[in-house]
Chain A
Amino acid sequence: MTLRPLSLAVALALPLFVAPAAQAAKTLVYCSEGSPEGFNAQFYTAGTTFDAASQPIYNRLVEFERGATTIIPGLAESWDISTDGLTYTFHLRKGVKFHTTAEFKPTRDFNADDVLFSFLRQLDPNHPFHKVSGGSYEYFEGMGMPEVIDKVEKLDDYTVRFTLKRAEAPFLADIAMDFASIMSAEYADKMMKAGTPEVIDFKPVGTGPFQLVNYQKDAVIRYKANPDYWRGRAKIDNLVFAITPDASVRYAKLDAGECQVMAYPNPADLDKMAKDPKINLLHQPGLNIGYLSFNVEKKPFDDVRVRQALNLAVNKAAIIEAIYQGAGTVAKNPIPPTIWSYNDAVKDYPYDPEQAKKLLAEAGYPNGFDTDLWAMPVQRPYNPNARRMAEMIQADWAKVGVKAKIVSYEWGEYLKRLKAGDHQTALMGWTGDNGDPDNFLATLLSCDAAKNGSNYSKWCYAPYEELITKARSVSDLAERTRLYEQAQVVFKEQAPWITIAHSVVYQPVRKEVEDFRIHPFGLNLFYGVDLKK
């Protein structure tokens, strides 16, 4: 009986000791594949940099929903688009706090000045920050923003108006991208006055869910949850990127519990991962396309019948099996099925060598012809082994009398020569930037892009061009969908490419990780992710 008060006391005291352990800080370690190039996404185009810089640290006016391409409000609570599609007015969110760091303690909340600063730095060559840190705004320029945005004005502290030079329906999707992250104008002013303006580019201050604690180059990046995050504090307390360049080693670390999420698994390890009871192997179709481009400016590929014939001659199912080892789907359209306006009614060219021979004979090549076939020297998500793929296509074409010589160059040289149109046929691919069909159908196939962009087929076809130009200028989604669906029909009939595959993206995470979602653009986002203990 005398023991009872004691055991009661023990029972009461026990939670006091257990509680702190149960509430121990939750730290999620992500085995990333490389170092970020820097911490200001305006300068870079690599997903690795966006994972580490813009996504955890910053926000944008509008953002992509986690794990989807849908656009949702970000730092702008709402927006109005004028009927002519030329003016976008954004109503900004109030009470959003910037991070407090060793260099900077914000004295005001986020407002219109920050939006102006973030855009004008990139847009205006005379902006005091334009030249800071090298001043090369790759994505902003690459997406054609200087040709689209006319001016950005502050109407009041919480209203900003963008005036465009031409109606541009994908504009919202464009400014949901990483380069449009909103930086603090107050911090920039302070650093400019201190004579060290470049500090804002490597000691970032944002409004995002995580705040940078420290970074050791090529080794580790540490973040802590932003306690004042406007969407609510992250469920994990600390986020650590353990930079691990080798895929096998990343897997070993995941296996040993040294990290909970890993980037880019080796295709050869997927089977083992799927069977591993400690691991959840998530997967999703990638927002990409692997294709073969015909240079339509060169004979005999100026003849649509030749292009169609070579489409018919390729056994795509065999390629998917051999090259993608099942981690891919046959592509029939230039956009992947996850993008709105994907036209499922389009019929792909079947594998039919006999029909191909007939078409070639009609085109005046009964005995086939000689051509080159370029294979990329690099491994890409949309094409894990271009060399092998080229060999398979070479063998298929040989069956209809077309003798292809496989050519390859070092990657930089490959891109340069492809752009110059030195090839006859070449393997290539694309990963989407923002989930808008325009980002595939215009970026890769418009007349503008044929002149000096990524239209490596040099295919400029008036009926198609008309459809995609119109689709870019109307803001009604149903109308845009209709136009893009038609454009895909025209594309298939004219066959400037052989659409080969959309790959499947895999992401292994440990079982204790909750609610991690694969992002369609291949980014790794940790806000909303939890760790179960």
Chain B
Amino acid sequence: MLLFLLRRLGVLLPTFIGVTAIAFALVHLIPGDPLEMLAGERGMDPLRHARLMHEMGFDLPLWQQYIDYIDKVLHGDLGLSINTHQPVLGEFMTLFPATIELSLCAMGFAVLVGLPAGMLAAVRRGTLLDHSVMGLSLTGYSMPIFWWALLLILLFSVQLGWTPVSGRISVMFWVEPVTGFMLIDTLLAGDWDAFWSALHHLVLPAIVLGTIPLAVIARMTRSSMMEVIREDYIRVARAKGLSPQRVIFVHALRNALIPVVTVIGLQTGTLLAGAILTETIFAWPGVGKWLIDSISRRDYPAVQGGILLVAAIVMLVNLLVDVLYGLINPRIRHAR
């Protein structure tokens, strides 16, 4: 297992260097620079522009800037945001818990609904239930996030008044951030009203963000399950007289889960990206919106740092998925 882990980590390093280099190059290739974006219609005196670019070190050759940057990153310094003058790492860490909280809830929703739905559809193949699950999941998968979110807001928040329109918690509450996870912080503060408000605020964004992964998970579970239940060993299990529940949940599910876990891992990466839209609509203070704003302002340190951190996290999630494979199916571990 240790060797397996080490091997996996060995692959991560070049990926990581590749990601930072590509992120760095892409950010600098976008036309325009932070100073021009700041000056806008007013424009900036070319001499002053040159002086400020020099002061920020943006006049050096790109490769040199990259080496300087990597050097700083290795020392744990992601630099200061040009826009806010605050450390990039600090900004990321303030916003990231919000993204994680939302993504975890969305994924939880997707798995809790998607997995049973997919299993049911597989077991009841060809029935009305199967067709409805598949039809709904196709609709969910094709749903434009913006539209879907506004639809839910108009129905549940504006018409019915069941959920708040946007935000993480009612503006009437102020909870001192400890972990950055609103649900945990409100509990730590012992404020039940605030916890309730935070939970309320999570419902719609989690459903919106969870819709696409839900559809993917449901479809994947169904097809993988259908394959597995045709296998000989399942037939043997049935022939032995085991109860249908035991056959499905113990014998079939474990093997059917492998591709599903892959999908969940991949979807977690997509969630971080998909969160950008959801965060914008629901005014959710996460990293997605922050990254987009930083790109439009050409805030190089913020964009580079943000991409680097998000990439690191996606890689870690994938590593975790690899390890999970090994746990679910030991043959994968031994084969390498």
A-side interface residues toward B, CB under 8 Å?
27, 29, 34-35, 37-38, 43-45, 133-134, 136, 138, 141-142, 198, 201-202, 213-214, 216-220, 222, 240, 242-246, 248-249, 252-253, 255-256, 258, 409-413, 415-416, 419, 428-431, 443, 452-454
A295 to B: closest C-beta gap in Å: 15
In the bound complex, do residue A412 and residue B84 qualify as a contact, i.e. CB atoms below 8 Å apart?
A: no
The yes or no answer to B223 lying at the interface (CB within 8 A) is: no
Q: A249-B282, A412-B37 are in contact. List 9 more A-B contacts (CB 8 A).
A: A38-B84, A242-B166, A248-B150, A252-B153, A256-B161, A410-B30, A410-B32, A413-B31, A431-B41
The yes or no answer to B91 lying at the interface (CB within 8 A) is: yes
The yes or no answer to B280 lying at the interface (CB within 8 A) is: yes
Chain B interface category by residue count: 35 or more
What would be 9 A-B contacts, judged by CB atoms less than 8 Å apart? A29-B171, A217-B95, A218-B285, A244-B166, A246-B281, A253-B165, A410-B30, A452-B43, A454-B41
User: What residue in chain A is nearest B149 (Cβ atoms)?
Assistant: A249
Contacting A246 at CB < 8 Å: which of B43, B164, B283? B283
The yes or no answer to B290 lying at the interface (CB within 8 A) is: yes
Q: Which chain B residues in 235-286 approach chain A with CB under 8 Å? A: 280-283, 285-286
In the bound complex, do residue B42 and residue A218 qualify as a contact, i.e. CB atoms below 8 Å apart?
A: no
In the bound complex, do residue B85 and residue A412 qualify as a contact, i.e. CB atoms below 8 Å apart?
A: no
- Give the contact stretch, choosing among B45-53, B66-74, B123-131, B212-220: B45-53
Cβ contacts B71-113/A at 8 Å (1 or 0 each): 0000000001011111000010011000000000000000000
In the bound complex, do residue B41 and residue A428 qualify as a contact, i.e. CB atoms below 8 Å apart?
A: yes
Chain A residues within an 8 Å CB radius of B177? 216
Chain A residues within an 8 Å CB radius of B322? none
The yes or no answer to B326 lying at the interface (CB within 8 A) is: no
In the bound complex, do residue B80 and residue A249 qualify as a contact, i.e. CB atoms below 8 Å apart?
A: no
Q: Which chain B residues in 153-177 approach chain A with CB under 8 Å? A: 153-154, 157-158, 161, 164-168, 171-172, 174, 177
**Contact A217 to B94, CB < 8 A, known contacts A252-B154, A412-B298:** yes
Chain A residues within an 8 Å CB radius of B286? 218
**Contact A412 to B36, CB < 8 A, known contacts A245-B283, A246-B280, A419-B43:** yes
How distant is the Cα of A27 from the Cα of B82 in the complex, in angstroms?
Answer: 34
In the bound complex, do residue A416 and residue B32 qualify as a contact, i.e. CB atoms below 8 Å apart?
A: yes
In the bound complex, do residue B40 and residue A258 qualify as a contact, i.e. CB atoms below 8 Å apart?
A: no
How distant is the Cα of A133 from the Cα of B80 in the complex, in angstroms?
Answer: 10
**Contact A134 to B86, CB < 8 A, known contacts A249-B283, A409-B31, A416-B32:** no
The yes or no answer to B328 lying at the interface (CB within 8 A) is: no
In the bound complex, do residue B165 and residue A252 qualify as a contact, i.e. CB atoms below 8 Å apart?
A: yes
The yes or no answer to B222 lying at the interface (CB within 8 A) is: no
Tell me how many residue pairs across A and B have CB atoms closer than 8 Å: 136
Q: Which of B83, B86, B165, B167 lies at the interface centre, i.e. has the most chain A CB atoms within 10 A of its CB?
A: B165
Chain B residues within an 8 Å CB radius of A242? 166-167, 171, 283
How distant is the Cα of A202 from the Cα of B80 in the complex, in angstroms?
Answer: 14
In the bound complex, do residue B80 and residue A134 qualify as a contact, i.e. CB atoms below 8 Å apart?
A: yes
Contacting B167 at CB < 8 Å: which of A44, A136, A198, A220? A220
In the bound complex, do residue B95 and residue A218 qualify as a contact, i.e. CB atoms below 8 Å apart?
A: yes
Chain A residues within an 8 Å CB radius of B37? 411-412
In the bound complex, do residue B39 and residue A142 qualify as a contact, i.e. CB atoms below 8 Å apart?
A: yes
The yes or no answer to B44 lying at the interface (CB within 8 A) is: yes
In the bound complex, do residue A256 and residue B165 qualify as a contact, i.e. CB atoms below 8 Å apart?
A: yes
Chain A residues within an 8 Å CB radius of B32? 410-413, 415-416
How distant is the Cα of A512 from the Cα of B277 in the complex, in angstroms?
Answer: 32
How distant is the Cα of A43 from the Cα of B37 in the complex, in angstroms?
Answer: 14
Chain A residues within an 8 Å CB radius of B48? 141
In the bound complex, do residue A410 and residue B31 qualify as a contact, i.e. CB atoms below 8 Å apart?
A: yes
A458 to B: closest C-beta gap in Å: 13
In the bound complex, do residue A415 and residue B43 qualify as a contact, i.e. CB atoms below 8 Å apart?
A: yes
Chain A residues within an 8 Å CB radius of B46? 452
In the bound complex, do residue A255 and residue B158 qualify as a contact, i.e. CB atoms below 8 Å apart?
A: yes
How distant is the Cα of A227 from the Cα of B293 in the complex, in angstroms?
Answer: 36
**Contact A142 to B42, CB < 8 A, known contacts A219-B283, A412-B32, A412-B36:** yes
B218 to A: closest C-beta gap in Å: 28
How distant is the Cα of A242 from the Cα of B282 in the complex, in angstroms?
Answer: 11
In the bound complex, do residue A218 and residue B85 qualify as a contact, i.e. CB atoms below 8 Å apart?
A: no
Chain B residues within an 8 Å CB radius of A416? 31-32, 36
B168 to A: closest C-beta gap in Å: 6
How distant is the Cα of A310 from the Cα of B94 in the complex, in angstroms?
Answer: 54
In the bound complex, do residue A38 and residue B85 qualify as a contact, i.e. CB atoms below 8 Å apart?
A: yes
How distant is the Cα of A331 from the Cα of B164 in the complex, in angstroms?
Answer: 43
Chain B residues within an 8 Å CB radius of A419? 43
B155 to A: closest C-beta gap in Å: 11
A336 to B: closest C-beta gap in Å: 15
In the bound complex, do residue A45 and residue B85 qualify as a contact, i.e. CB atoms below 8 Å apart?
A: no
Chain A residues within an 8 Å CB radius of B31? 409-410, 412-413, 416
How distant is the Cα of A252 from the Cα of B80 in the complex, in angstroms?
Answer: 36
Chain B residues within an 8 Å CB radius of A142? 39, 42, 44
A201 to B: closest C-beta gap in Å: 7
A442 to B: closest C-beta gap in Å: 13
In the bound complex, do residue B283 and residue A454 qualify as a contact, i.e. CB atoms below 8 Å apart?
A: no
Chain B residues within an 8 Å CB radius of A429? 41
Chain B residues within an 8 Å CB radius of A453? 42-43, 45
B97 to A: closest C-beta gap in Å: 12
Chain B residues within an 8 Å CB radius of A245? 280, 283, 289
How distant is the Cα of A413 from the Cα of B86 in the complex, in angstroms?
Answer: 27
**Contact A133 to B285, CB < 8 A, known contacts A246-B280, A411-B37:** no
How distant is the Cα of A365 from the Cα of B241 in the complex, in angstroms?
Answer: 95
How distant is the Cα of A409 from the Cα of B240 in the complex, in angstroms?
Answer: 71
**Contact A136 to B171, CB < 8 A, known contacts A38-B85, A202-B86, A412-B36:** no
B26 to A: closest C-beta gap in Å: 14
In the bound complex, do residue B165 and residue A220 qualify as a contact, i.e. CB atoms below 8 Å apart?
A: no
In the bound complex, do residue A45 and residue B150 qualify as a contact, i.e. CB atoms below 8 Å apart?
A: no
In the bound complex, do residue B157 and residue A256 qualify as a contact, i.e. CB atoms below 8 Å apart?
A: yes
A44 to B: closest C-beta gap in Å: 8
How distant is the Cα of A411 from the Cα of B37 in the complex, in angstroms?
Answer: 8
Q: Which chain B residues in 1-52 approach chain A with CB under 8 Å? A: 30-33, 36-46, 48, 52
In the bound complex, do residue A252 and residue B289 qualify as a contact, i.e. CB atoms below 8 Å apart?
A: no
How distant is the Cα of A416 from the Cα of B41 in the complex, in angstroms?
Answer: 10
In the bound complex, do residue A219 and residue B153 qualify as a contact, i.e. CB atoms below 8 Å apart?
A: no
Chain B residues within an 8 Å CB radius of A44? 38
**Contact A220 to B171, CB < 8 A, known contacts A258-B165, A413-B32, A452-B46:** yes
Which are the 10 A-B pairs with shortest beta-carbon distances? Answer: A412-B32, A218-B285, A413-B31, A219-B285, A244-B283, A133-B85, A253-B165, A412-B36, A240-B171, A252-B165
**Contact A217 to B36, CB < 8 A, known contacts A222-B174, A415-B41:** no
User: What residue in chain B is nearest A456 (Cβ atoms)?
Assistant: B43
B294 to A: closest C-beta gap in Å: 11
In the bound complex, do residue A454 and residue B164 qualify as a contact, i.e. CB atoms below 8 Å apart?
A: no
User: What residue in chain B is nearest A412 (Cβ atoms)?
Assistant: B32
Chain B residues within an 8 Å CB radius of A443? 42
Chain B residues within an 8 Å CB radius of A29? 171
**Contact A412 to B153, CB < 8 A, known contacts A198-B85, A218-B289:** no
How distant is the Cα of A454 from the Cα of B40 in the complex, in angstroms?
Answer: 10
A322 to B: closest C-beta gap in Å: 23
How distant is the Cα of A8 from the Cα of B158 in the complex, in angstroms?
Answer: 44
In the bound complex, do residue B283 and residue A45 qualify as a contact, i.e. CB atoms below 8 Å apart?
A: no
How distant is the Cα of A45 from the Cα of B41 in the complex, in angstroms?
Answer: 11
